[in-house]
């Protein structure tokens, strides 16, 4: 995880409030892939996992700032992937 000083700040174009990139609400779902026999699911082996980020929401006004179905490997706690969205994808925010 990044230290507090490293988080970039962005301003919501709707409410004009500034938030650090780790303060935005991230809506996502986790997909886990298993291999095993259908009748013995409890013995199945987890072989892969990824998550889909569906939207990024302003923590102040609730405006959906970005929506997509982007697949990415990794742990949702590692918000470096979210940094990539802020830097590489157009959204309803601007650098603060």
* Spatial separation of the C-alpha atoms in residues 22 and 59, rounded to whole Å: 10
Q: What is the pLDDT of residue 96?
A: 67
Q: What is the pLDDT of residue 89?
A: 65
What are the domain boundaries of the chain? Answer: 28-95
In 3D, which of 5, 1, 21, 2 has the Cα closest to residue 95? 21
* Spatial separation of the C-alpha atoms in residues 27 and 52, rounded to whole Å: 9
Structure tokens at 56: 């990024």
Whether the model clears a pTM of 0.85, i.e. scores above it, the answer is: no
Q: Low-confidence residues of the chain, pLDDT below 70? A: 1-5, 38, 68-86, 88-92, 96
The b/e string for 15-42 (b: 16+ C-beta within 10 A; e otherwise) is eeeebebeebebeeeeeeeeeeeeeeee
For 33-51, what is each residue's pLDDT tens digit? 777 776 777 777 877 777 7
Q: What is the pLDDT of residue 16?
A: 92
């Amino acid at each position: 995880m990044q230290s507090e000083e490293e988080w970039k700040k962005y301003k919501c174009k709707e409410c004009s409030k500034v938030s650090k990139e780790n303060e935005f609400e991230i809506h996502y779902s986790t997909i886990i892939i298993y291999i095993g026999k259908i009748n013995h699911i409890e013995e199945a082996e987890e072989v892969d996992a990824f998550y889909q980020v569906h939207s990024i929401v302003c923590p102040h006004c609730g405006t959906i700032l970005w929506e997509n179905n982007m697949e990415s490997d990794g742990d949702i706690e590692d918000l470096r992937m979210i940094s990539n969205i802020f830097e590489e994808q157009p959204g309803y925010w601007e650098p603060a």
